[in-house]
Amino acid sequence: MLKLLAAEGKRERAMAPRKKLPVVLREITAETLRPVLKLSVSEEQKKFVADNAVSISQAYFCKQAWFRTISVGEKPVGFVMLYIDRKKADYDVWRFMIDQRYQKKGYGTAAMQQIIEFVKGLPRARALYLSHSPGRGNPAPFYKRFGFVHTGKMNEGEKVMKLDLGEEKARP
Ligand SMILES: CC(C)(COP(=O)(O)OP(=O)(O)OC[C@H]1O[C@@H](n2cnc3c(N)ncnc32)[C@H](O)[C@@H]1OP(=O)(O)O)[C@@H](O)C(=O)NCCC(=O)NCCS
């Protein structure tokens, strides 16, 4: 009887709709550092983004670096680093990646939507910039979905894109 009840419980759990875990931008902790360092894009994508170890090392020496894990629930699946200069109102996506095992599940989109909302709330935020290496599989089509457009300018061999954020968000 007990066995029967357990089996029934299992079946019900399997049939219940899976609760979707939220995508959250989290500060890196001692616990998440190693998992974040292990996140990686595919071989072909490596020309588009630096290793997270390199990014975090650079952040250590740059006051304007703002970096977070992209986590699904508690699990880190990606990494983002922004360049934030509040005085000059200069805001850039410096690094952005989703580990190859977790791509094409909507996590990149959910993270980018949150990043845009976050930047909109920064002082005199009128635009968000980024740049990407050219070549097959480059992320421009992904960024265009949010309204980023190529400016026609190049920065250290990378194509610059800009997202117009419109009017500054009113702050209380
Ligand atoms: C770009 C990246 C962050 C997107 O993350 P993701 O979680 O896979 O994105 P999503 O699942 O939210 O994708 C949303 C849509 O964009 C599309 N897309 C994602 N990356 C794309 C790319 N490089 N080229 C064309 N389309 C892309 C997806 O196919 C998907 O389309 P669909 O809704 O029609 O299926 C991820 O592919 C990545 O880490 N790439 C390698 C590193 C990189 O290029 N970083 C940017 C540095 S500037």
- Which residue has the least CA distance to atom 7 on ligand 1? 108
| pLDDT recorded at residue 117 | 98
Which structural domain, as residue segments, surrounds residue 64?
21-164
- Per-residue model confidence as pLDDT tens digits over 44-54: 999 999 999 99
Answer whether residue 151 is part of any domain.
yes
* Residue (of 100, 120, 98, 122) closest to 110 by Cα position: 98
Instruction: For residue range 82-94, list pLDDT tens digits in order.
Output: 999 999 999 999 9
Q: Is residue 171 situated within a structural domain? A: no
Distance 108 CA to ligand 1 centre (A): 6
Q: What residue owns the CA closest to ligand 1's atom 15?
A: 142
- pLDDT > 60? residue 101: yes
Q: pLDDT-based confidence at 98, cuts 50/70/90?
A: very high
Going from the Cα of 67 to the center of ligand 1, the distance in angstroms, rounded, reads 19
The domain tally of the chain equals: 1
Instruction: Tell me if 9 is assigned to some domain.
Output: no
pLDDT at 13 over 60: no
Tell which one of 42, 103, 113 to mutate to probe ligand 1, the residue whose CB is within 8 A of the most ligand atoms.
103
Q: Structure pTM? A: 0.90
Instruction: Provide the pLDDT for residue 168.
Output: 62
Mean pLDDT rounded to a whole number for the chain: 92
Q: pLDDT exceeding 70 applies to what percent of the chain?
A: 87
Residues with a CB atom less than 6 Å from ligand 1: 41, 45, 48-49, 96-98, 103-109, 130, 132, 137, 139, 141-142
Q: Is 131 within the bounds of a domain? A: yes
Please identify, by atom number, the ligand 1 atom nearest to the C-alpha of residue 108: 7
Q: Is residue 1 part of a domain?
A: no
Tell me the per-residue pLDDT of 102-130, one tens digit each, with 9 for 90 and over.
999 999 999 999 999 999 999 999 999 99
Of 11-20, 22-31, 159-168, the range with the highest mean pLDDT is 22-31
User: What 8-state DSSP symbol labels residue 40?
Assistant: -
pLDDT confidence of residue 17: 58
Looking at residue 3, what is its pLDDT? 57
* 6 domain-assigned: no
Band of pLDDT at residue 167, cut at 50, 70 and 90: confident
**Residue 64's domain is classified under what CATH number?**
3.40.630.30
Task: Find the helix or strand (DSSP H, E) in which 85 lies.
Answer: strand 75-85
Contact 94, 65 (CB under 8 A): yes
| pLDDT computed for residue 166 by the predictor | 87
- Cα dist from 137 to 7, 63, 117, 120, whole Å: 46, 32, 26, 28
Label each residue of 103-129 as H, E or C: CCCCHHHHHHHHHHHHHHCCCCCCEEE
Q: Ligand 1, atom 16: nearest CA belongs to which residue?
A: 142
